Structures are given as structure tokens and as C-alpha cells.
Amino acid sequence: MNRAIRGAAVLILAAVMVGAGCGDRARTLRERAARTCAGLTDYEVTTEIISGGARSDRMVIRQAARAPASYRLDALTPDDIKGQTTIRNGCALWTYDPAARELIISGIGSGGYDSNSRIILRDIMMRFAAAAGARFLRSERGPDGTLAVVEYADPTSEQGSVRLWADVKTGVPVRVEYLYRDGTVSQAVIFRDLRLNPGLPLDRFNFVVPAGTRVIEDDNATRRVSLEEARRIADFRLLLPEELPAGYALTDISIVGAGDDLLIVLSYTAGERLIQLTEAKYAGGDDSISPGSVRRIVNGIEYRVEAADGFATIAWTRDGVSLSLTADLKLEELFGLAETVK
């Protein structure tokens, strides 16, 4: 074997050995995470959640959980959500907003899916322990010891992957990043001040409804609210048109859903004519359009346009908010109205 071929063979063998070693290290870490999770009766941890890329949103919550499936989330910052509480107890979610004096009681989604599972430490550990395709990237020094950095396909989304920093001794994550397909970070979750098996009391996961609280039993129910209530309930800045076509006025505000599925619908009427502005927090990552829709760029803003039955709908994003306008107006009028929504 000549020197060049022999050198290439050595490089190939080294690559195979490194790959195998990375797979072994990822598997060992997953096994440690599984053992830690199996011995977990309860825990408490401070959780920092950062999302939104350059215009990042940041919140801090105190998270507590108890086996097999109960948890409690108490919002600490920012001020506009401070005091909000979410409790999962049995098969229901209780979401309380003290500013709005509103409690939403909702069932867990089909198949047991709970959107909060992306930030619940126990659920993240269970998914990581089951991630057979996880691969080891590198080691880093953390504040309390060595961390292993691994990456695997995101089981909660088909749009990307998960990068996870875990304690090498226990497999417990200290940081999780959810990545888009292009590798950019859609959301980061950071854990600190963790207390494993502290013996949390059962009443930590019960909720006493304060007097005067409006209780909503179905998270798909549509409910009418005032403008101030809508602003308090929304976890995004509500945007409003600065100008309206002649004769139109805001006559109804409705809220549909809760949490990540919250929609706010503002209805502007002029006699029997209607303009509806729908708003939700922009989740990012999905640029697809529905069949029959087209893309159109107006004054540097990309809109998704759909027309049917004499009505037109345009959809776009602004300042971290997903918006859509529906009305029996000409498209040029809708684009002009959209530009005033700020």
C-alpha cells in the first residue's frame, strides 16, 4: 500500500472511530438521563425562556413538577405576565391570569400533546432519553461541572432539531435550544437553581379559584372582551389600525383559545359591512401558504393573499405578531389599511 493510500485509510479509520465514540457518548448520556428521570418523584427549577431571534422575547418562570404528570408554572418576569399561573393536574390545564381575573380550564390535546412540554424539564429529559439518533457534539465546562452538548431531531416538530447541554454525570439538561432547519435558534430554554426530589406538597399542584374570577371551561370557546382585557390577556403587543375606511368603527373584540393557540379577533363594522383583523403571536419557521393563496410584496412587506366569495384575506407579520385582514374591500384598500396597523 503506498503512502498516500495508507494515509487516506488512516484518516477514514480515525473518522469512523470518532463517529463511533460520539455515538457511544450520546447513548451513555441518554442512559444516564433515563435513570435520573426514573428516580424523579418531583423537582423545582427556575426556567428562562428566550424566543424571537434578534427581537427576542424573554420570560422567567418558576417550574415545579410531580410524577407522574402534574406540573405548575408561575410567571416571574416580565411584569405584564407576572403572577400568571398554569397548573396541569390530571388531564386538565388550569391557566390563571390575575390581571384579567380569568381562569381557563382546558383539556390536553389529542394524543396527550401539551405545548408546554417543550419547556417542562421532565418531558425534555424523557424525549432526550428516547432520542436514538442523538449525536455527541462536544464537551463544555459548566458552572457545576462538565457538560455534554448533543443534537437530535426535534420530536415535537418536523421543522428542525434540538441542541441540548446536559450534565455528564446525571444527563440532566441545563440548556435546550430548538433549531430551525437552517440552524438558527427559534427558542432557548435555560434551567437553573434545580432541586431534585425536594418532597413538594400535593397542594402545590391544586388551585383555589379567587372570588370574582371568570371561569372558562373550554379553551376553544369564543368570548367577548374589552380592548383593555384583550391587551392584558395577550402575550404579545396588540396592534391596531391608525386609520379606517369611512364609516367603520370597532364594534367587537373576541378571544379564541389560550396559551400558544390564542387568537384575538377585532371586528370593525359599517352597517352590514365587516372588516376582521385577526392577531396571534408569531411562532416563526413556517413560510408555507395554503392552496389557492399567492404571495405579493407591497412596499417591502410580503403578504399572503387569498380571495373567495367576494371577500379577500391578506396575512403578514409585523413586530412579532401574525396578522390577517378579511373584508369585502379591493386588495389595494386592504394593503393600504394593513400599512396603518401598528
Residue-by-residue pLDDT tens, the chain, 342 positions: 444 444 443 333 333 333 445 668 999 999 999 999 999 999 999 999 998 655 568 999 999 999 888 999 999 999 989 999 999 986 678 899 999 899 988 766 544 557 788 999 999 999 999 999 999 999 999 888 999 999 999 987 766 899 999 999 999 999 999 998 888 888 899 999 999 999 999 889 988 889 999 888 765 656 778 888 888 888 889 999 999 999 999 998 988 776 677 889 999 998 878 999 999 988 776 565 565 678 999 999 999 998 765 678 899 999 889 999 999 898 999 999 999 999
Question: Would you state the pLDDT for residue 6?
Answer: 42
pLDDT at position 141 is 93
What pTM was estimated for this model as a whole? Answer: 0.61
Cis (ω within 30 of 0) for the bond into 68?
yes
Ordered domains of the chain (ranges, CATH) = 3-205 (2.50.20.10), 220-339 (3.30.200.100)
Position 52, amino acid? G
